[in-house]
């Protein structure tokens, strides 16, 4: 979502400012930030420190911090780092043009939750598009998982209207987009309305988007198991534009931990969703998020996570060591695990998940599949792209490729990509 936000920030200021390639040439430096784990948040301060020389040389240079760290730390950020001129929360960046034009030395602090105004001011016309483009359709979260800062940094659940999303998608498709990745902290909690005030869910919105002729692929992230309804599951079977991919974070395989995380589902319920989906789309790529070392996680809890992983067999995954976040409920629970124990668990889990990823990718060897090109690879004649199962793919071509999509025969599968040959 920060990628989407950064694109929209650039568009918002495009009347008066253009992107430069080096901070040395900049009149303003905008840092978009993530607060989900401690490491990401701390990185912000070291990044800003790098600009102290530039700031001394150019008194007019503005340093603006946007995003969830700005939202969470507020005025304390200005005190801790005097180089910062203004801070702007994730629901207020529609005001960036005014901040950039403000010639007073005032330090602006904009931290309201004003999603409605944000999206209406940003509009639906997009300046930039790539073959795979993001659209935020839903923001914020009301679920309050005990480890998570999102409800505090992004605010309450908000869904954009159907027409707004469809118009934005059409604008992207006019500029060459063929795949849309619908975004939300809880994207499958989407409950947007049409202009006539009738509401629809994510499946309803996807059906509307699928009518756009130039749009070939649709995918969505991130979903919550509790909001995985039958409409959406059935759509995976019937809608050809919907990618056979689902990112459904489980976090843990232990019911005890899931309860303490306030996830409000059990490992059995999670398994049932996956079974249902696999009955409809047998080779669907299932991806997930895991947290290891949540406060109170015993060896038995951890083994239950490993067992769930072995039973499901994931195609992709993201796994993290639990990170304490101020203001969250879990922060009040004592954690007896050492960092080394958490590291060991993470490594053990990741080893299994990586093997599963290779096993899934190996089922594609010898197959002919369509790949959307996302850019050049590391070598001159190398290209990278993605399949509709959201696998990264690499192939070589000595002739330059004019099209933005190609058909490949998959030669071999690695844990992090497929290697293909042009057909």
Name the residues that contact ligand SAH, by CB under 6 A. Answer: 36-37, 147-148, 185-186, 222, 224, 249, 251, 289, 291, 320, 322-323, 325
Q: Which is nearer to ligand SF4, 143 or 259 (CB)?
A: 143
Is 144 near ligand SF4 (CB under 6 A)? yes
Q: Which is nearer to ligand SF4, 141 or 371 (CB)?
A: 141
Residues in the chain: 423
Closest CB 251 distance from ligand SAH, rounded Å: 6
Please tell me the distance from the alpha carbon of residue 116 to that of residue 283, in angstroms, as a whole number: 39
Q: With contact defined as beta carbons under 8 Å apart, do 221 and 185 qualify? A: no
Q: Which residue reads 């801070």 in tokens?
A: 87
Closest CB 206 distance from ligand SAH, rounded Å: 18
Range 145-164, binding ligand SF4 (CB under 6 A): 145, 148, 150-151
Q: What is the size of the binding site for ligand SF4 (CB under 6 A)?
A: 10
Please give the backbone phi and psi of residue 316, each rounded to the nearest 5 degrees, phi first: -150, 165
Residue whose C-alpha is closest to residue 206's, from 223, 283, 196, 250: 223
Q: Which stretch binds ligand SF4 (CB under 6 A): 38-46, 140-148, 231-239, 383-391?
A: 140-148
Instruction: Locate all alpha helices (DSSP H) within 313-377, ordered by sequence.
Output: 339-362
Please pick, from the candidates 44, 68, 141, 337, the single residue that binds ligand SF4 as defined by CB under 6 A. 141
Q: How far is CA 104 from CA 60, 68, 86, 144, 386, in A?
A: 10, 25, 12, 39, 47
Is 143 near ligand SF4 (CB under 6 A)? yes
Q: How far is CA 135 from CA 32, 43, 94, in A?
A: 17, 26, 16
- The listed partner (ligand SF4, ligand SAH, none) that binds 144, CB under 5 to 8 Å by sort, is ligand SF4
Residue whose C-alpha is closest to residue 80's, from 40, 55, 49: 49
- The listed partner (ligand SAH, ligand SF4, none) that binds 172, CB under 5 to 8 Å by sort, is none
Closest CB 228 distance from ligand SF4, rounded Å: 12
Q: Which is nearer to ligand SAH, 324 or 374 (CB)?
A: 324
Q: Which is nearer to ligand SAH, 135 or 413 (CB)?
A: 135
Q: Residue 222: is the preceding peptide bond cis (ω within 30°)? A: yes
Q: Which stretch binds ligand SF4 (CB under 6 A): 45-53, 106-114, 141-149, 408-416?
A: 141-149
CB contact set of 402 (below 8 Å; sequence gap of 6+): none
- The listed partner (ligand SF4, ligand SAH, none) that binds 151, CB under 5 to 8 Å by sort, is ligand SF4
Residue whose C-alpha is closest to residue 95's, from 66, 73, 68, 70: 66
Closest CB 386 distance from ligand SAH, rounded Å: 20
Closest CB 192 distance from ligand SAH, rounded Å: 18
Closest CB 148 distance from ligand SF4, rounded Å: 3
Please tell me the distance from the alpha carbon of residue 368 to that of residue 162, in angstroms, as a whole number: 35
Q: How far is CA 341 from CA 8, 168, 292, 309, 335, in A?
A: 41, 47, 10, 20, 11
190-229 mask for ligand SF4 (x: CB under 6 A)?
----------------------------------x-----
Residues in contact with ligand SF4 by CB under 6 A are: 141, 143-145, 148, 150-151, 185-186, 224
């Amino acid at each position: 979502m920060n990628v989407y936000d950064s694109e929209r920030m650039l568009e918002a200021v495009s009347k008066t400012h253009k992107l430069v390639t080096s901070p040395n040439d900049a009149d303003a430096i905008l840092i978009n930030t993530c607060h989900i784990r401690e490491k990401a948040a701390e990185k912000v301060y070291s990044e800003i420190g790098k600009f102290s020389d530039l700031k001394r040389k150019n008194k007019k240079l503005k340093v603006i911090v946007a995003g969830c760290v700005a939202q969470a730390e507020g005025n304390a950020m200005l005190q801790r780092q005097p180089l910062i001129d203004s801070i702007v929360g994730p629901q207020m960046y529609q005001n960036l043009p005014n901040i950039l034009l403000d010639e007073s030395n005032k330090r602006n602090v904009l931290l309201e939750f004003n999603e409605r105004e944000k999206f209406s001011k940003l509009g639906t016309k997009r300046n930039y598009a790539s073959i795979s483009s993001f659209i935020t359709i839903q923001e914020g979260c009301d679920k309050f998982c005990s480890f998570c800062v999102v409800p505090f940094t992004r605010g309450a659940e908000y869904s954009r209207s159907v027409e707004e999303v469809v118009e934005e998608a059409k604008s992207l498709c006019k500029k060459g987009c063929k795949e849309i990745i619908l975004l939300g902290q809880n994207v499958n909690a989407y409950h947007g309305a049409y202009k006539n005030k009738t509401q629809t869910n994510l499946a309803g919105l996807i059906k509307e988007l699928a009518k756009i002729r130039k749009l070939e692929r649709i995918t969505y992230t991130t979903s919550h198991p509790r909001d995985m309804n039958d409409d959406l599951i059935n759509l995976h079977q019937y809608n050809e534009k919907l990618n056979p991919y689902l990112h459904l974070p489980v976090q843990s395989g232990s019911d005890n931990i899931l309860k303490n995380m306030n996830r409000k589902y059990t490992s059995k319920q999670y398994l049932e969703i996956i079974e249902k989906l696999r009955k409809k789309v047998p080779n669907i790529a299932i991806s997930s998020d895991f947290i290891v070392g949540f406060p109170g996680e015993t060896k038995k809890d951890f083994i239950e996570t490993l067992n769930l992983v072995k039973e499901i067999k994931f195609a992709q995954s993201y796994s993290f060591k639990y990170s304490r976040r101020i203001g969250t409920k879990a922060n009040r629970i004592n954690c007896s695990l050492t960092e080394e124990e958490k590291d060991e668990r993470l490594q053990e889990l990741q080893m299994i998940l990586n093997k599963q990823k290779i096993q899934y990718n190996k089922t594609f060897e010898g197959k002919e599949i369509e790949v959307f090109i996302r850019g050049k690879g590391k070598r001159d004649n190398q290209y990278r792209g993605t399949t509709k199962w959201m696998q990264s793919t690499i192939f070589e071509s000595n002739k330059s490729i004019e099209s933005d999509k190609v058909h490949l025969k998959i030669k071999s599968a690695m844990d992090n990509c497929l290697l293909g040959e042009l057909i």
